[in-house]
Amino acid sequence: MTQTLAPEAPVVGPVVVAPRNWKGAIVMAVVAQITLAFALTTGSVEVFFSWNDTGQPAVIPATVVDAQLICLVLAVIAELCAVAAFVFVGMRRKAPLILTFVVAFTFLIALVASVAAGSQSGNIPVVFLLTGTIGLSTAVIFGSLAGVLGERVGVTNIAIEGQLLGGAFTSAVVASVTDSLILGLVAGMVTGALLSMVLAGFSIKYLVDQVIVGVVLVALMIGLTNFFYSAALSGNSEELNFPGTLPFLPIPLLSDIPVIGPVLFDQRPTTYAMFILVPAVWFFLFKTRWGLRIRALGEHPLAADTVGINVNRWRFWTVTVAGLIAGLGGAALTLGSIGPFVREMSAGQGFIALACVILGRWNPFLAASAALLFGFSRNFRIWAGQAGSTIPPDLIAMTPYLVTLIAVAVLVGRAVAPKAVGRPYVKE
């Protein structure tokens, strides 16, 4: 850089030295030590990885391994990854993302194995753990996709929580009244979009701070859904709050594959929609002209305006489309899961989605991975409770939030958020 600016100046030594960033490697090393601690504290007990869906005939026999041995192997892998990360940083290069994933996976498997070792049966229901993870993270993934779209175009959407709640409510009610699950889905999506329009309208037209509108919208949706729930739904749940659920649609052949089949190819339409939307949003954002425009609007709206993009109109409609996705996430909570609406059933998942957006560095795939981590921990808590784990369930519940906090503070820190996020654009 110095050379281009002042070619006549003699350059001594290396021109640009990238700073070493040890934070990621240190965190990986810490996680690897915890994995090692699992290995050292777990007794030498046999555990069974059962690969079959509950109630299905056994296709593959359960794998029997020694809990201590597998924890030890995983810990060694984790340690190697951590060392590799240090080497990369030492060479002033960025450690590949795959190392982080491997360390995280080894940690999770070692955790599961050590809990199973402490339980009566020593059984690890792999399919249950995976399907539960996907089921519990569906809404969060939809929400985080909406969040990624919103923040990429420059609008902070705190109201995702309200959109999930509103989508869940209207989809359940409309599906019950019209007896059509499709109409219910549409109604949920429209609700999400309408809330997005309110958010976008207030923040773009009236220039109200986006965080304020978002928080108020969440409060408003909690109040509205609670009000209608106790004023109308609770006394008349047969007619108004009994939508049924979307059917499981097993994909022929693929759903017969062991483990992967029941986890990925025997799901409800909302889950399939999620599988499609994550890569679709990624492709849209990073591989299409529209996506480029959206990202430009989030980074430098003035530049986008200069080349003739109508900033506020694009922001309005992008956020509205994001609202459709968030509303679908709400419908996934009711129609795609348990059916009827329950008071405050989103239970903070919209806020978690927001954290996943940051944790996932505004990338749909990474945000979805972060959401899966939350889903896994919620599911793990259920399973650990059943398996009779000695780890207090409250502390398990706390872990993903703690991980997010550490990740946001240590790893992401001054993350490369879209530069203009949260700021309304006003033409000079």
Partner 1 sequence: MSAPVLEPLPVDAEVDPAARKRPTAREVLSDIASGGPLRILLAVFLSLVVGSLLIVFTNEDVLDTLGYFGARPTDFFGAAGKAIGEAYAALFRGAVFNYRADSFEAAIRPLTESLRFAGPLIAAGLGIALSFRVGMFNIGGQGQMLMGAAFAGFAAANLSLPWGLHLLVAMAFGFIGAGLWAGIVGLLKAFTGAHEVIVTIMLNYIAVSLITYLMRTPVLHDMDSGNNPTARAPQPTAQLPTILGQDFSLHLGFLLCIAAVFVFWWLMERSKLGFRLRMVGLNPDAARTAGVNVKAVFIVAMVLSGLFVGLAGINQALGRTGTFGPSIDAGIGFDAITVALLGGSRAFGVLFAGLLFGAMKAAGPSMQVQDVAPEVLVVMQGLIVLFVAAPPLVRSIFRFLPEPRVVVRTSAPKRSLRATAAEAPATQAPVAQVDTAQGDGAGDSTATAKKESPL
Taking the complex as a whole, how short is the minimal distance between the CB of residue 423 and partner 1, in angstroms?
A: 5
Q: State how beta strands 63-66 and 46-50 pair.
A: antiparallel
Binding string, residues 131-170; x marks residues near partner 1 by CB under 8 A: ---------------------------x------------
58 binds partner 1 (CB under 8 A): no
- Work out the end-to-end distance of the chain between its first and last CA atoms, rounded to an integer number of angstroms: 33
- Tokens representing 22? 């040890």
Minimum separation from the CB atom of position 136 to partner 1 (A): 15
Kindly state whether residue 307 participates in binding partner 1, applying the rule CB under 8 A: no
| Contacts for 270 with CB less than 8 Å, ≥ 6 apart | 138, 185, 246, 328, 331, 332, 335, 336
Q: Which two tokens stand for residue 9?
A: 């100046």
Contact set for partner 1, span 336-355 (CB under 8 A): 348, 351, 354-355
Query: Does 64 participate in binding partner 1 (rule CB under 8 A)?
Result: no
Q: Residue 333's closest CA among 128, 130, 137?
A: 137
Q: Name the residue nearer to partner 1 (CB basis): 97 or 397.
A: 397
424 binds partner 1 (CB under 8 A): yes
Say if residues 223 and 167 touch (Cβ distance below 8 Å): no
Q: Amino acid identity, residue 254?
A: L
Closest CA to 119 of 381, 377, 385, 375: 385
Q: Quick one: which segment of 56-64, 94-102, 142-150, 393-401 binds partner 1 (CB under 8 A)?
A: 393-401
Of 43 and 348, the one with the shorter C-beta distance to partner 1 is: 348
Q: Which of 58, 60, 98, 219 binds partner 1 (CB under 8 A)?
A: 219
CB atoms within 10 A of CB 366: 18
Name which of 209 and 256 has its Cβ closer to partner 1.
209
Residues in the chain: 428
Contact call for residue 232 and partner 1 (CB under 8 A): yes
Task: Provide the β-strand partners of residue 266.
Answer: 250
* Residues binding partner 1 (CB under 8 A): 158, 202, 205-209, 211-213, 215-217, 219-220, 222-224, 226-232, 348, 351, 354-355, 358, 392, 394-395, 397-398, 401-402, 404-405, 408-410, 412-414, 423-424, 426-428
